[in-house]
Structure 1
């Protein structure tokens, strides 16, 4: 089978589409024939060598957190999944993989997949696995958004941002989206009550907000200061400076900056599918690349300014 692998840490040109042996599922595992995957920040920082403690320093390293496809084979002790089922899911982000979601086949624990929404194509489904799960966990668990609260979404036009705007709107929040002005039409169309151009809006000119969802990872303390009394903030844009700001914010108690690592299981993926089925969440896709062109997808992700997700179509 063909699989994308990192052959040495660096820029996108270290990615290779290699011919490797198709994996076989063990007990409690499922083999999925992948039709699409997407590019996520985790993929980029693994490729760049910023997560050596997780990925290790032995090559090759697999690429692609999420995937959508069909069940090709099941291992022993697997219940609830049959060959031919359309599924979506995610490999474990804290385990080392020699091949991952950006491959023709992926082996994954059975409790990390769920039926994909019937209304979505594989490309559309892949665009929502990590982005949608992250946004849902941020709003539901980290900041516990309630109806009527004022929400700021930073990096609102990206994959997690567009999902957060939609889910915050569905939860009854009054949503302010911070993004490039050219994305205003898209963002108001998916639920933003107002859109501010991030290039001309500074933190001291916004808010106050009950909830801030940050996907950028910079100026965190400045934006945290725009929380109202009882406000909560979460960031998923991790960097060394972001981690320092998160640690320092602990002195503010409930108004500290929160973070987490999205790691969806079957239950969460089923809940996410419910939001798709209800119409509360729909995919927003910036570009689709063939598997052979995954380096271009990574480069597009790193340039920023996207409207939604960069997706890799594995099955032509």
Structure 2
């Protein structure tokens, strides 16, 4: 439950220069004062996402600039401390995302109420934190790709943070799901419900697919070639080693009526989080936590994700 007295300072993860995981430090700052429409949340857990690694390493400099220190963290699970005029009450267990900003890796965070929802019963903070970015998979498959029952879905990066949700969601939507992952993670992809689990370094001929969900970003032309004539490809990442080439390819194929490729970046609000909760309560989605790190070792959490081979989500706990 929420504390009876809110402290004046909060621990949080920041970095004051671009670089390897070691640039991350845990420092203190005043507890934020929620503004209009915001809720103060005592964060209990966050997950680590690929975009945060790219930001910290300086691979997004054209977008992120050179103003420091920078904060880290996209999603969260925790308890409402100050609900303001929202529909929440103090002590409510909530999950959510900050949208297109970062900073959830902190003990206390002011979050727009429209980016929060109640956590389904039965989930603790660590498992709840492994799911909010799954809203990206919901929108990508349902709204962007319009995945239909009986269609063939290929999930690239099927054991990763968005991919593991996409595999489960694709099955729940009635698709035939093929998941690409590393050899060590094929058992997990099968357990998640994939009809086929294939080593991404394996056979060149994968067959043809109605929908490709790409969470990796590289070699996009090769994966467009596996689309059926009416196929659709949704990329949630682009090639950071060749960003102009990657984004140019997406832009060139986005307007096509057939075999199109479109880029999607999640920006969820409460209705989408509520839908995520309904999928969880129905039993169609379950969290998959790879490892848990304390906030003091957030650099270790980043190193673990960078090494690859992750089975689901890396979670940082703030008890």
> Which TM-score band (shorter chain)?
over 0.9
Number of positions where the alignment pairs a residue of Structure 1 with one of Structure 2: 306
Of the candidates 42, 64, 71, which is equivalent to residue 51 of structure 2?
Answer: 42
Q: Which runs of 5+ in 1 are unaligned?
A: none
* 1:210 paired to 2:201: no
Of the candidates 101, 105, 111, which is equivalent to residue 102 of structure 1?
Answer: 105
Q: Indicate conservation of the 8 Å contact 1:181/1:195, yes or no.
A: no
Q: TM-score of the superposition, structure 2-length normalised?
A: 0.92
Of the candidates 180, 183, 186, which is equivalent to residue 182 of structure 2?
Answer: 180
Q: What does the per-residue CA deviation read over 1:238-266, in whole Å, with 9 as the maximum and x for residues that have no partner?
A: 23143132123246433221111101100
C-alpha deviation, 1:32, in angstroms: 0.3
* 1:278 paired to 2:300: no
Q: What does the per-residue CA deviation read over 1:81-102, in whole Å, with 9 as the maximum and x for residues that have no partner?
A: 1111000011121x4x5xx111
Tell me the equivalent position of 1:117. Answer: 120
Tell me the equivalent position of 2:149. Answer: 147
C-alpha deviation, 1:49, in angstroms: 2.4
Of the candidates 64, 68, 74, which is equivalent to residue 73 of structure 2?
Answer: 64
Write the distance in 2 (CA, Å) between the matches of 1:82 and 1:58: 36
Matched position secondary structure for 1:213? strand
Write the distance in 1 (CA, Å) between the matches of 2:39 and 2:254: 41
Tell me the equivalent position of 1:308. Answer: 312
Tell me: CA distance 1:108–1:52, structure 2 relative to 1, closer, same or farther (3 Å): farther
Q: What does the per-residue CA deviation read over 1:215-241, in whole Å, with 9 as the maximum and x for residues that have no partner?
A: 111111111011112111111122314
Tell me the equivalent position of 1:126. Answer: 129
Matched position secondary structure for 1:253? coil
Q: Indicate conservation of the 8 Å contact 2:231/2:260, yes or no.
A: no
Matched position secondary structure for 1:148? coil
Write the distance in 1 (CA, Å) between the matches of 2:309 and 2:247: 23
* 1:82 paired to 2:89: yes
Tell me the equivalent position of 1:158. Answer: 160
Tell me: CA distance 1:143–1:251, structure 2 relative to 1, closer, same or farther (3 Å): closer
C-alpha deviation, 1:187, in angstroms: 1.3
C-alpha deviation, 1:24, in angstroms: 1.1
Write the distance in 1 (CA, Å) between the matches of 2:309 and 2:227: 26
Write the distance in 1 (CA, Å) between the matches of 2:43 and 2:260: 39
Q: What does the per-residue CA deviation read over 1:72-123, in whole Å, with 9 as the maximum and x for residues that have no partner?
A: 1133xx2211111000011121x4x5xx111101111110100011121101
Matched position secondary structure for 2:146? coil
C-alpha deviation, 1:201, in angstroms: 2.5
C-alpha deviation, 1:142, in angstroms: 1.2
Write the distance in 1 (CA, Å) between the matches of 2:116 and 2:70: 22
Q: What does the per-residue CA deviation read over 1:178-232, in whole Å, with 9 as the maximum and x for residues that have no partner?
A: 1122222211111100111111232xx0121111111111111111011112111
CA RMSD of aligned residues (A): 1.4
Write the distance in 2 (CA, Å) between the matches of 1:271 and 1:252: 30
Tell me the equivalent position of 2:18. Answer: 9
Q: Indicate conservation of the 8 Å contact 2:185/2:309, yes or no.
A: no
Q: Which runs of 5+ in 2 are unaligned?
A: 1-9
Q: Indicate conservation of the 8 Å contact 2:72/2:104, yes or no.
A: yes
Q: Indicate conservation of the 8 Å contact 2:39/2:86, yes or no.
A: no
Write the distance in 1 (CA, Å) between the matches of 2:246 and 2:287: 28
Write the distance in 2 (CA, Å) between the matches of 1:171 and 1:216: 23
Write the distance in 2 (CA, Å) between the matches of 1:54 and 1:74: 32
1:263-302 counterparts in 2 under 5 A?
263-302=267-306
